[in-house]
């Protein structure tokens, strides 16, 4: 008999004809992967907006408000052996942790990003304080799983390497077009992801480049014919072709822990540019270049890559990238071990 695991997250999920859809690919792949070793239930938020990825998990409870959210958690307390996996710290998971503590449940907390930095990018100077108050409480008596040691100051944590890469990402790679810098951004269109900062850096330069943006829009306004937005793409084969049609991946985020799009670009043998704020994500990866958040520095870095493309591409091939299979195995071992 499989052990019961309830996954609790702030993710908004769309439901239609008893099928469930989310935008965050990890909220699909992680529970589906763990479903081979655990009896999985999920408690998530309800959305009226169509989402991208179907979650193939049998037990999903959606909540339209915080009271319904907490009630759905309470309904799982019949089995005292059930374990709980909270993903990220938000007001919803903060209150979930509160009720789980009251009923003395076993709690795992998976932190995928540095909330202090994200809240600062969104709310300004008050953001880190708000997050830290939740952080102190939610990390209390939780077994903590992180994808980057920088996320927490706790001494005892389990480190994992999240990934959506399977073998198909590593085969049938094609040479990059190198006639001019063909830049690519793949990610959420949000302030903390730095995409608006990147557009501002590039929109008033005479530099000869193209930038393609892949992601869901949020007040995205483009006034430069060198920058194009092609929407969101959730088909892995089509997404790989998009990477292959560009020669440099650019990640302008103000905060990141373990950006999976960075691994995708390296899997397709495309070098990447990041900014100083997230230099820690390089770890031992080859083909990733750090620059200042200024036009002249970014152009200088791009020109260096273009002028040394063959040598850089050769070094990228030596990377040992994380895989989805290894990530699920790591999570399974942690959840079984503790």
Residues in Cβ contact with 13 at an 8 Å cutoff, skipping those fewer than 6 apart: 20, 21, 22, 27, 44, 45, 46, 47, 51, 55, 60, 62
Cα–Cα–Cα angle for 88, 89, 90, nearest 5°? 115
Q: Taking residues 44-53, what's their average pLDDT?
A: 93
DSSP state of 216: -
Question: Residue 52: pLDDT band by 50, 70, 90 thresholds?
Answer: confident
Question: Residue 219: pLDDT band by 50, 70, 90 thresholds?
Answer: low
Return d(Cα 89, Cα 295) in angstroms, integer.
Answer: 34
- Count of alpha carbons within 13 angstroms of residue 321, beta-carbon side: 26
Q: Taking residues 149-156, what's their average pLDDT?
A: 86
At residue 217, does pLDDT exceed 80?
no
Residue 338: per-residue pLDDT = 65
Find the length of the chain: 338
At residue 326, does pLDDT exceed 70?
yes
pTM (whole model) above 0.85: yes
At residue 20, does pLDDT exceed 90?
yes
Strand partners, 86: 8, 109
The fourth-level CATH superfamily of domain 167-316 is: Glycogen Phosphorylase B; (3.40.50.2000)
Domain limits, CATH 3.40.50.2000, in the chain: 3-163+325-337, 167-316
Return d(Cα 105, Cα 141) in angstroms, integer.
Answer: 10
CATH number of 3-163+325-337: 3.40.50.2000
Residue 224: per-residue pLDDT = 87
Residues 247-267 have pLDDT tens digits of: 999 999 998 988 999 999 999
DSSP state of 255: -
Residue 114: per-residue pLDDT = 84
Residues 259-314 have pLDDT tens digits of: 999 999 999 999 999 999 999 999 899 999 999 999 999 999 999 999 999 999 99
Residue 312: per-residue pLDDT = 98
């Amino acid at each position: 008999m499989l052990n019961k695991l309830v996954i609790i997250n702030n993710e908004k999920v769309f439901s239609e004809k008893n099928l469930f859809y989310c935008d965050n690919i990890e909220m699909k792949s992680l529970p589906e992967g763990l479903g081979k070793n655990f009896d999985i239930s999920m408690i998530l938020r309800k959305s009226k907006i169509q989402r991208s990825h179907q979650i193939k998990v049998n037990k999903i409870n959606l909540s339209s408000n915080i009271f319904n959210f907490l009630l759905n958690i309470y309904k799982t307390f019949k089995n005292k052996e059930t374990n709980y996996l909270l993903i990220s710290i938000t007001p919803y998971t903060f209150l979930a942790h509160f009720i789980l503590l009251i009923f003395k449940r076993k709690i795992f907390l998976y932190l995928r990003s540095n909330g202090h930095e994200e809240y600062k990018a969104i709310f300004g100077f008050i953001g880190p304080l708000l997050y830290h108050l939740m952080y102190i409480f939610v990390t209390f008596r939780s077994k903590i799983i992180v994808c980057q040691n920088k996320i927490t100051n706790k001494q005892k944590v389990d480190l994992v390497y999240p990934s959506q890469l399977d073998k198909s990402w590593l085969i049938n790679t094609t040479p990059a077009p190198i006639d001019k810098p063909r830049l690519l951004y793949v990610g959420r269109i949000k302030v903390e992801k730095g995409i608006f900062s990147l557009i501002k850096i590039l929109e008033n330069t005479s530099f000869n480049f193209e930038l393609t943006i892949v992601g869901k829009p949020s007040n995205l306004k483009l006034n430069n014919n060198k920058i194009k937005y092609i929407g969101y793409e959730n088909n892995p084969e089509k997404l790989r072709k998009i990477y292959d049609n560009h020669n440099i991946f650019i990640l302008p985020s103000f905060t990141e822990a373990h950006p999976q799009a960075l691994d995708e670009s390296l899997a397709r043998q495309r070098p990447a540019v990041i900014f100083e704020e997230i230099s820690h994500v390089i770890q031992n990866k080859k083909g990733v270049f750090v620059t200042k958040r200024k036009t002249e520095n970014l152009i200088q870095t791009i020109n260096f890559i273009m002028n040394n493309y063959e040598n850089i591409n050769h070094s990228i091939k030596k990377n040992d990238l994380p895989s989805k299979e290894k990530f699920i195995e790591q999570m399974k071992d942690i959840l079984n071990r503790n």
